[in-house]
Structure 1
Amino acid sequence: MASAPQLPLFYNGLEPLSSELHANYKIRSSNVAPFLTGQHAIPLTVEEFPLVQRFMPIVFSSGDDSIPIALMGLNEGVNVFVDDAGALTEDNLYVPAYVRRYPYMLARLRPDADELSLCFDPTTDTIGAFDDGEPLFADGQPTELTRNILQFNENFEQAAARTGQFMTEIRDAGLLMEGEVTIQQDGIDQPFVYRGFQMVDEQKLADLRGDQLRKMSQSGMLPLLYAHLFSLSLMRDIFARQVKLGKMPQPQLVA
């Protein structure tokens, strides 16, 4: 098993998928994701904005290397879209690709390696030498299922690269600002204030020069910025879901 001091969200380890070591491994289907139950913020790729903005607020993490994230809850440890077992509570919910990618990911086996290898989290209970399930290899070759998994992960990496470029452009344009949302609940004097994220400054976006706006519109970037801004209205919906589930936050908590 190859592990790193700082593994990505959800992953407890990474092991390269091998036709020799894992020749008899199979995949069991599962309709639950226990790893998702306590996660309130999920990384996004920029192409997902139009789909995600229908269900979850899209914000940007704090810091200079910020990334887009979907909020599945407003407080750490709270996810309003899954039950305690990790099953989705809605049939038509869009699930971010970062979640659907698990337990696989492309990774460099050595820091100096140029190529990315398909790896998996060996602690998952969906991959193993099971009697039942879909095989990963047949006659020493990847099955169609494994090839599809590899293609999905390659597509994800390409989308992540485009997302990185998107983030560079909005930072260079000076469009990000520190975010804050205040929610006043009936019957409680103290408002709930959420900080610790970034958002697009609407005024700065409106003040951009015409040529800058035209470039963003032609590149498809402008609609994505508005998808983010429109999604912020869902903050109060997520808060209401937390209240309904009895997962009441405390005033002044940071998202």
Structure 2
Amino acid sequence: METTQSAGGITGNVLFYSTPEPLNRELHGKLALVHQDKPYAFAAAGTAVPLTVTEFGPAGLSYPIIFAGEERTPLAVMGLNQGENLFIHADGSTEVGVYIPAYVRRYPFVLANDDAQGRMIVCIDRASSLLSEAGETPLFDAKGEPTEYTQNCIKFCDDFEVERRRTDSFVQLLKDNDLFELKTATFTPAGADGQPGEPQVVAEYYGVSEEKLNALPIEKLKELQTSGALAQIYAHLVSLVGWDRLIAITMFRQAQAPAANLN
């Protein structure tokens, strides 16, 4: 994927990117990466982050993986309340051992549609605090060519786009086999007497129906297994246990908040 010389016409809104601009040696020739020990502050309000299908295994160890909207976009759920991320904090630090989605790791680079040229081009979020003329790792060298760092970032974006398309194919396969159903995540609080209270719905989302999956013909299950799709389906199903983790963390932090306010 090459950098572009003109601004072009970028379409679409992308989560976390407030000011995307086509990477341009004339406009961005002096920019450099700012090294930060805690670089993920931009994602601290990301309640749900897009995932590619090949991330289901590692991501499922940290978060529930759901499917959202008409497109059934796979998402890693990282918080229960809007604008809340339980695993990435406001200072840019993360909880120890959690998986950071590739969607987050590629920032501040991204691919975007260029209507004028009818192709995808490399962009950066010009408003990112990770980019500055006072940064340590330049985006371009003295000849105006992308540095090794920039080339690696571009390759990461290209690879991400390949995985995104593979994910689209995976989702379409689930649609073709009518495997989606509307699911709910619930929480049962304890009453004043210590007995279980009324269950409360925490979230509604789309997921794979185990009943529909088990009802598929043997030959269809074999196809899913051979293609690798079956393993990813099970990674999604196992990840849903993570709703309990999200609820537990949320309750713990809510309990700690009043105590902190008193100090």
- Using the size of structure 1 for normalisation, the TM-score is 0.90
Q: Which 10-residue stretch deviates more, 207-216 or 70-79?
A: 70-79
- Code of the residue aligned with 1:186 in structure 2: it is A
Letter in 2 for 1:178: L
Preserved contact between residue 11 and residue 113 of structure 2 (Cα < 8 Å): no
Equivalent residue, structure 2, for 1:105: 110
* Identity of matched residues, %: 33
User: Which residue of the other structure, out of 125, 130, 133, is the alignment partner of 1:129?
Assistant: 133
Letter in 1 for 2:43: L
Give the structure 2 partner of residue 187 of structure 1: 191
Deviates more, 1:74-83 or 1:64-73: 74-83
Structure 2 regions of 5+ residues with no counterpart? 1-6, 257-263
* Cα deviation code 1:121-152 (max 9, x no counterpart): 1111111211x410111121111001000000
In the TM superposition, 1:228-239 aligns within 5 A as 228-239=236-247
1:7–1:13 Cα contact (<8 Å) kept: no
**Corresponding residue number in structure 2 for 1:35:** 42
Mapped pair 1:119 → 2:123: yes
Give structure 1 stretches of 5+ with no counterpart: 249-255
Q: Which amino acid aligns with 2:190?
A: D
Give the aligned partner of residue 87 of structure 1: 93
CA distance in 1, matches of 2:60, 2:116: 38
The question of 1:162 aligning with 2:166 is answered yes
1:203 maps to which residue?
211
Q: Is the 8 A contact 1:2 1:13 kept in 2?
A: no
Q: Which residue of the partner structure matches residue 49 of structure 1?
A: 56
Q: Distance in 2 between matches of 1:243 and 1:194?
A: 12
Q: How has the CA–CA distance of structure 1 residues 239 and 105 changed in structure 2, closer, same or farther, with 3 Å as cutoff?
A: same
Tell me: CA distance 1:15–1:102, structure 2 relative to 1, closer, same or farther (3 Å).
Answer: same
How many residues matched? 244
The separation in 1 between residues aligned to 2:10 and 2:118, in whole angstroms, is 18
Q: Give the Cα–Cα distance (whole angstroms) in 2 for the partners of residues 244 and 102 of structure 1.
A: 30
The 10-residue stretch of structure 1 (184-193 or 157-166) with the greater mean CA deviation from structure 2: 184-193
Q: Note if contact 2:80-2:247 (Cα within 8 Å) is conserved in structure 1.
A: yes
